[in-house]
Amino acid sequence: MTSASLPVVQLRVPTEEDAYAWHRVFDDPDVMEFHGGRSAEVSIYEEFTARQRRHDAERGFCLWTLLDEAGEVIGFTGAQPWPHESFGPVGEIEIGWRLARASWGRGYVTTAARITLERLRAAGVPSVVAMVDCRNERSIAVTRRLGMEAAETFGVPRTERKAYCFRLEL
Ligand SMILES: CC(C)(COP(=O)(O)OP(=O)(O)OC[C@H]1O[C@@H](n2cnc3c(N)ncnc32)[C@H](O)[C@@H]1OP(=O)(O)O)[C@@H](O)C(=O)NCCC(=O)NCCS
């Protein structure tokens, strides 16, 4: 695929208003299939976006709000410290993505994830992980497009779920 065919995206540090935009565009059973299966409340996104602003202030990167060519919020892509202490790749930098259903299938997240990797390299981050539910084929396909390699498999605490940990050296 040539660079000319890549969609144009913008990534910005989530604003306070973006909590409402994320809530609106993720309020869809397809989007939430591997995130508990149901929509999260606005308060969850208020805390989530505020946490990303803190990551940006402390580290210079975060899960950024993803905007399309028209400047509409269509999701998030970026990186954060792995947010759990008791399981998974504790202490590592995790890249992640979540996209509005209407925007799937256009290459937005792969494009945004490549920008994320460039920014992380520039920030001196040596390696990243991505944790993906074993059944989440679309997300596994993103990790393949990025050249990531499957490493460990983790059981997700208090669930029957398993997640693959993909890794990439930067
Ligand atoms: C995972 C998720 C982000 C993948 O979205 P996506 O649109 O399939 O991912 P990409 O941005 O990589 O786009 C790839 C698709 O766009 C197509 N495409 C079109 N132009 C493209 C381009 N220039 N570059 C790459 N792909 C392009 C690809 O062919 C592919 O379509 P296909 O699956 O029909 O073959 C999305 O399904 C999602 O948000 N799911 C719910 C939340 C979630 O599970 N998040 C991940 C948690 S680990």
Is the alpha carbon torsion for 136, 34, 26, 84 positive or negative? negative
How many CB atoms sit inside 10 A of residue 131's CB?
A: 22
Average pLDDT, the chain: 95
Q: How far is the CA of 161 from the centre of ligand 1 (A)?
A: 22
**Fold of domain 3-169:** Aminopeptidase (3.40.630)
For residue 109, report the distance from its CA to the centre of ligand 1, in Å: 6
105, burial (CB in 10 Å: exposed 0-12, middle 13-18, buried 19+): exposed
Look at ligand 1, atom 30, and give the residue with the nearest C-alpha: 105
Mean pLDDT of 90-115: 98
What digits encode the pLDDT tens for the residues 9-44? 999 999 999 999 999 999 999 999 998 888 899 999
Condensed to tens digits (0 to 9), the pLDDT of residues 35-90 reads: 888 889 999 999 999 999 999 999 999 999 999 999 999 999 999 999 999 999 99
Query: How far is it between the farthest Cα atoms of the chain?
Result: 45
Phi and psi at residue 64, in whole multiples of 5°?
-90, 150
- In terms of pLDDT, which residue wins out, 83 or 1? 83
For the chain, the domains span: 3-169
Question: Burial code of 45-71, b = ≥16 C-beta within 10 A, e = fewer?
Answer: bbebbeebeebbeeeebbbbbbbbeee
pTM for this prediction: 0.96
Distance CA 121, CA 95 (A): 13
For ligand 1, atom 10, the nearest C-alpha belongs to 107
Is there an atom of ligand 1 within 6 Å of 143 CB? no
Report H helices in 26-150: 29-32, 42-59, 108-122, 137-145
- pLDDT value, residue 45: 97
In testing the pocket of ligand 1, which one of 31, 104, 117, 143 has its CB within 8 Å of the most ligand atoms?
Answer: 104
